[in-house]
Structure 1
Amino acid sequence: MTADHTETAPPSEPPAGCPAHGDRFPLYGPELAIDPAGAYARLREHGPLAPVELSPGVPATLVTGYAAALGVLRDPNTFPKDPRGWQRTVAADCPVLPMMMYRPNCRHADGSAHSRLRMAVTDSLARVDLFALRGYVEASADTLIARFAGKGAADLVADYARVLPLLVFNELFGCPPDLGDSLVMGMSGIFDTVNAKQSNEIMRAAVLDLVQLKRRDPGHDVTSWLAEHPVRLTDEEMMHQILTLLGAGTEPTQNLIVNGLRLLLSDDRFGGDLSGGNLQVEDAIDEVLWTDPPLANFAMTYPTHDVEYEGVVLPKDQPVVISLAAANTDPMLTAEHREGNRAHLAWSAGAHTCPAQGQARLITSVAIEKVLDALPEMELAVPVRLLKWRPGPFHRALTALPVNFPPVTGRMAGDAWRDRPDTDTRPDLRMPPQRGAERADGLAAVLSAARARPVRKNRYRQWRDSVLRRLRRP
């Protein structure tokens, strides 16, 4: 697929075939949240590209075809990531601006600038010992499960999945307790596009404080490794790499955990003893990444000139958004079996493929395994059709996942871990030299490994308790 572009200025009237003609589908409204399959079917009537609004008065083109999406993602020359031309055309209080605005990070860079930033990120993430990470995820999951296991009921969003990725990613980045609350508030506000400008400012201030702290007092964490990387990132660059990784690793991972649990608890194909093996959990994750990816519409690009693509004229600087969900369910795809099939676009594709997908998948897999293993008789508290989805142009996220189960009495593993003596020692997430060969084999060894060594509770329990209190507030 080749896209032709010209140097001419945008015409005063949209040309024939331009998505500005006709009605635009509101991605921010309830229809997409309630019935995404129906919404994408309606959008496919326009062909592989469709006119949409990301928020009132913010037009964009949504790519719904799998082949068309790959063509965009693999052609950064025609479809660059820099949004600054578009950004000059929108109001400062635009609800989607904090999610889309330019930042000096991997997501908004191309060419050599992207390679430099990406190298710092991938090298720093590669230093994380996945076996130690699994141990920390298990211990954190045990702690959270112990809080509701004796009650016989829980909301797996508020009580579990919303908190777990925040605990893990803040540990990965060495975030101290006094910055944790700010990260919690800011992250959810940006994704929901509610008070997004204020949320963005809160997030920015918290991460900048973290960067400056690690410059002064480095540790064994991704923030410190970014700071010491040979490409010599500035404070501003470091801040935006961390913001991007936290944004991509917390909210979407939360949604992947919840969507996976919803599938396992509601689909007869995953019946039987759900806690009996890793295979079913991995199958469910693959299915969700195909059909309900946590980032449904994302991977924005901004043509630098008017571009004709797939018979549609795409205006200069206007967002071209990849519908990862619609592309994955494109009727033109012939594959019927998705188990073990990783050709989906949930992690994007091309040069901008998610660099933290291994860590996100590990967290998701362990989180699902742990709660199903601890509460094997767990059932949905309401019919699956009555579950409510959060509206928004970008994510696929449930508001709640209520479940019932026989109360678990007695001490759980989480109680024992939580009650260990306090210590100021953080878990050591560095990759030991002897594990280099194991890491080369990918995630399979980690996902199937026996339980990793226990991780001692430390002074960060105070922050965990604060997170739980904040997220439970009405």
Structure 2
Amino acid sequence: MTADAPSTEERVPFHGALFEQDPSTLYAEMRRRHGPVVPVLLDGDLPAWLVVGYREVHQVTEDDELFARDTRRWNQWEHVPEDWPLLPYVVHNPSVMFTEGDEHRRRAGAIGDALSAVDQFDLRLHCERIADRLVDGFAGSGEADLMAQFAQQIPLLAVAKLFGMPEAEAPQLVRDVAISLDVGPDAIPAYMRVQESMARLVAEKHRNPGSDVPSHLLSHPSGLTDEEVVQDLLVVTAAAQQPTANWIGNTVRLMLTDDRFSMTLTGGRGSVGQALNEVLWHDTPTQNFIGRFAVRDTLLAGRRIRAGDMLVLGLAAANADPHGSLSLDADLMGNRAHLSFGHGEHGCPFPAPEVAEIIAGATVEVLLDRLPDLALSVPAESLVWRPSLWMRGLEALPVAFTPAYVSGV
């Protein structure tokens, strides 16, 4: 049985405060009413399909020939205004994000090889030093906002190490990447500054190559051009920053608000891995992802998908699908079948998820070791999520603790 194309009235508005603050309840209701593939309206009443079924997200992400990545296939471009807020997610650029087939495998393979060359033991030690230094900055005060003063700072400081960048350049890069990822008038100028920074870095690595990601990309046998390396470094930078920062923040929040972790905060390094994994299931940093575009007319879960239709990957909704990998009350220990890093050829290339977990895990462990009586300084229900359909992260994470001496690291 197939359904005709839904009318505008039948489509669910996929924007607004309800989705931003309590998305899981709404995803469950959408699944109940519409099934695993939901007709939605994006900002500006542009039609799309939100894929909320676990098996359907698998199907879409595994079939690159039918559900392709190049956004130029979208059949709604003539209706997109110049100031559409989601343009940064869909405007085509020459990065690995929008390549397909052999070209995508060439580019993603080079990134995977460059990340595989990272000394993970050295990266963990470096992340521990970063965390110690950041904790030193607020340890004596007895209070902190762990999003602004800790989680948001860590990923790009780690990326600076991976990229072989001078640490002095990292703070400006942190600011510019954060601005470029927000929707606002300063986003494009900030993005251009980040691009210029990467271009300077590539030029420097030509002169002075090292054991770092840009140098490995430049010498990779796939023969990447300088422009390709610049674009792909931008992708790695953006992918590392907000998702990893939110992963850190969401994990600390879970450990401070869930009774299962309250007894393990002091010296509780073993529980950090469990909390990190649980966050990926229940509060994954990347909630939704634009997505895929149908190459030809097809059917998906009984829905008639037209050539050029946009499919938004509902990663958080798919993780919570009761018909998916497991039920929400199941034991998540060791279960990594979540879709938080995507799936298929366009998922995060190995070992990017492993690198992100080292960054997040090492820094959360240091935080708990240094501040063992860490506690929220506001009621848990007053914490505010950032207003985004796409990312899941807190505006602030205010905490209190017994003032401690700095480590001297």
TM-score, length of structure 2 as denominator length = 0.92
Change (3 A) 1:257 1:384: same
1:242 match: 233
SS of structure 2 residue aligned to 1:308: strand
Distance 1:198 1:316 in 2: 34
1:109 match: 99
User: Is 2:314 aligned against 1:323?
Assistant: yes
User: Is 2:90 aligned against 1:100?
Assistant: yes
1:455 match: none
Q: Which moved more, 1:102-111 or 1:70-79?
A: 102-111
Q: Percent identity?
A: 38
Change (3 A) 1:283 1:177: closer
- Which aligned pairs between 1:1-80 and structure 2 lie closer than 5 A? 16-18=4-6, 20=8, 22-27=10-15, 29-44=16-31, 45-80=33-68
Which amino acid is the alignment partner of residue 155 of structure 1? D
Alignment length (residue pairs):
399
2:394 match: 398
- Which aligned pairs between 1:58-457 and structure 2 lie closer than 5 A? 58-86=46-74, 88-89=77-78, 90-176=80-166, 179-180=169-170, 183-195=173-185, 196-298=187-289, 300-333=291-324, 334-335=326-327, 336-355=330-349, 356-409=352-405, 411-412=406-407, 415=408, 417=409
Change (3 A) 1:319 1:199: farther
Which amino acid is the alignment partner of residue 241 of structure 1? D
1:19 positional shift: 7.0
SS of structure 1 residue aligned to 2:40: strand
- The answer to whether the Cα contact below 8 Å between 2:286 and 2:340 also exists between their aligned partners in 1 is yes
- The answer to whether the Cα contact below 8 Å between 1:294 and 1:395 also exists between their aligned partners in 2 is yes
Q: Deviations over 1:412-444 (max 9, x none)?
A: 1xx2x2xxxxxxxxxxxxxxxxxxxxxxxxxxx
1:88 positional shift: 4.2
SS of structure 1 residue aligned to 2:254: helix
- The answer to whether the Cα contact below 8 Å between 1:98 and 1:190 also exists between their aligned partners in 2 is no
Q: Which moved more, 1:146-155 or 1:38-47?
A: 38-47
TM-score, length of structure 1 as denominator length = 0.80
Distance 2:64 2:266 in 1: 43
SS of structure 1 residue aligned to 2:144: strand
Change (3 A) 1:286 1:41: same
SS of structure 2 residue aligned to 1:60: strand
- The answer to whether the Cα contact below 8 Å between 2:27 and 2:317 also exists between their aligned partners in 1 is yes
1:248 positional shift: 1.0
Which amino acid is the alignment partner of residue 271 of structure 1? S
Structure 2 regions of 5+ residues with no counterpart?
A: none
Q: Deviations over 1:41-93 (max 9, x none)?
A: 23212111113344334432111110111111111111011112338443343
Structure 1 regions of 5+ residues with no counterpart?
A: 5-14, 418-474
Which amino acid is the alignment partner of residue 102 of structure 1? H
Which amino acid is the alignment partner of residue 100 of structure 1? V
Q: Deviations over 1:288-340 (max 9, x none)?
A: 00011100101511112233211222233232111110000012234411121
SS of structure 1 residue aligned to 2:323: coil
Distance 1:373 1:77 in 2: 48
